[in-house]
Structure 1
Amino acid sequence: MIRFENVGLRYGAGREVLSDLTFSIAPHSFQFLTGPSGAGKTTLIRLLFLNLKPTRGLISIFGKDTALLRRADMPALRRRIGVVFQDFRLLDHLTTYENVALPYRVLGKDEASYRADVTDLLDWVGLGDRKHVYPPVLSGGEKQRAAIARALITKPEFLLADEPTGNVDPPLARRLLRLFLELNRLGTAVLIATHDIGLMDQLDARRMVIEGGHLEIYE
């Protein structure tokens, strides 16, 4: 589904921040991405989400060489990828329901076609009774779950989650991990970027460790 071959990235004339990344991500797979702060996890996520282009090497996503993509092709490809950002990126003037429904609203869908899906998903992440609340009133954990629900609403083929348990307590972190596992069981490939060793130790999953701009993979 995703393939990197000898990918390198540098900003301007500086040294490479990512070097010689070669790996693939299979459909329906589950993996963790970890490494020290500043090692390049978020930069790699931006490459995977087509927010950055590599300085060198090949990136193929859903069988398409990203170097050959036209700008007009990008939105359709991105819609196949769900992203949970570290800073949530919820819109404060929209309710929890409206934030989760936003991807459908951007596509111009009629609300009647997605209302039940949004409501069911909010119940699934434990926010059914908070759907009419605005983000400033939500707790950190509730915002996290709302961001996850928004990333999942369009049933992406691949989910990227950047530190999804970074603002929650251990019991809620375990609950969120169960949500990701259930999503993976339903067919979505999942990559979770995290510093949380305890979280990773709960699951015998592939680990992608990035340090000093280089990647090691432990199956």
Structure 2
Amino acid sequence: MVRFENVGLRYGMGTEVLRDISFAIEPQSFQFLTGPSGAGKTTLLRLILMSLRPTRGFISLFGQDVSQLGKDEISAIRRRVGVVFQDFRLLDHLTTYENVALPLFVQGQEDRTYRPQVVELLRWVGLGDHIHAYPPVLSGGEKQRAAIARALIVQPELLLADEPTGNVDPTLARRLLRLFMELNKSGTSVIIATHDLALMDQFDSAKRFVLGEGRLHIYD
């Protein structure tokens, strides 16, 4: 599903911030991406999402060499990927419901076909009482949950989540992780970037990718 071979990334003429990164993400797999602050976790996710281009090396996504893809092909592949950003990226002029349903609306689906699914997911993540609220009145944790629901609503083939539990309490964090696990069991490959070692220890069956000093180490 995802393959990196000897990937390196530098900004300008500086030293490489990531170097000799090689790994493969198999279909229906689950992995944590961890490492100290500034290690490059978000940068690695951006490389997978193709919002950054590597300085060197080879990257393939869904079996396609990303260096050979045009703009339309990149857009088509991104529609197969769910993303939870650290800055949420909710649209302030849309309600919580409308933000979560937006990917389905963009696909051309009618509201009546997905409304029950969106409402149920919002209830599951604890936002059942905020369906008609707008992002500016939501707390950071509530925005985080809305962003997670938006990423999950399309049942993506690949989910990239950047610190998805950073703004919620430990109980809800475990609940959200179980939701990611259930999504994985239904066929989605999951990559979760986090520094929460205690949380990862509760899901020790997942593979761990550890970034440090620009290099990646993999532990089963």
- Shorter chain as normaliser: what TM range? over 0.9
Residue aligning to 2:96: 96
Match in the other structure for 1:212: 213
Question: Runs of 4+ in structure 1 displaced over 6 angstroms?
Answer: none
Determine the C-alpha separation between the residues in 2 that align with 1:191 and 1:185. 14
Equivalences for 1:53-202 in 2 at 5 Å? 53-202=53-202
- For the residue of structure 2 that corresponds to 1:119, the secondary structure is helix
One-letter amino acid of the counterpart of residue 208, structure 1: F
Name the % identity.
70
Alpha-carbon distance, 1:122 to partner: 1.5
Displacement of 1:8 in angstroms is: 0.7
Instruction: Compute the displacement of 1:195 (Å).
Output: 0.7
* SS at structure 2 position matched to 1:207: strand
CA-to-aligned-CA distance 1:60-118 (integer Å, 9 cap, x gap): 10000001101111111001110000111111221100000111233333323322222
CA distance in 1, matches of 2:202, 2:210: 17
Moved more, 170-179 or 103-112: 103-112
Q: CA deviation at 1:134?
A: 1.2
TM-score (norm 2): 0.95
> After the TM superposition, which residues 5-84 of structure 1 pair with which residues of structure 2 at under 5 Å, given as runs?
5-84=5-84
C-alpha separation in 1, matches of 2:144 and 2:110? 26
Contact 1:10 1:18 in 2 (8 A): yes
Distance in 1, matches of 2:155 and 2:173, equals 22
Task: Please list the CA deviations of residues 178-210 of structure 1 after superposition, one character each: whole Å capped at 9, or x if unmatched.
Answer: 111111121111111001111111111111000
Secondary structure in 2 matching 1:7: strand
- Give SS of 1:21's match: strand
Tell me by how many angstroms 1:176 deviates: 1.2
* AA at the equivalent of 2:82: G
Q: Which runs of 5+ in 2 are unaligned?
A: none
Superposition deviation, residue 169 in structure 1: 1.5
Aligned counterparts of 2:109 and 2:50: Cα–Cα separation in 1: 24
Q: Number of paired residues?
A: 219
Q: Distance in 2 between matches of 1:152 and 1:145?
A: 11
> What is the Cα deviation at residue 127 of structure 1?
1.8
Per-residue CA distance 1:1-55 (angstroms, 9 max, x = gap): 1110111111111111110001001111111000111111010000011101111
Matches of 2:49 and 2:121 in 1, distance apart? 23
Q: Distance in 1 between matches of 2:53 and 2:27?
A: 23
Structure 1: 5+ residue runs without aligned partners? none
Moved more, 134-143 or 87-96: 134-143
Deviates more, 1:59-68 or 1:96-105: 96-105
2:172 and 2:110 map into 1 onto residues whose CA distance is: 33
Aligned counterparts of 2:124 and 2:179: Cα–Cα separation in 1: 8
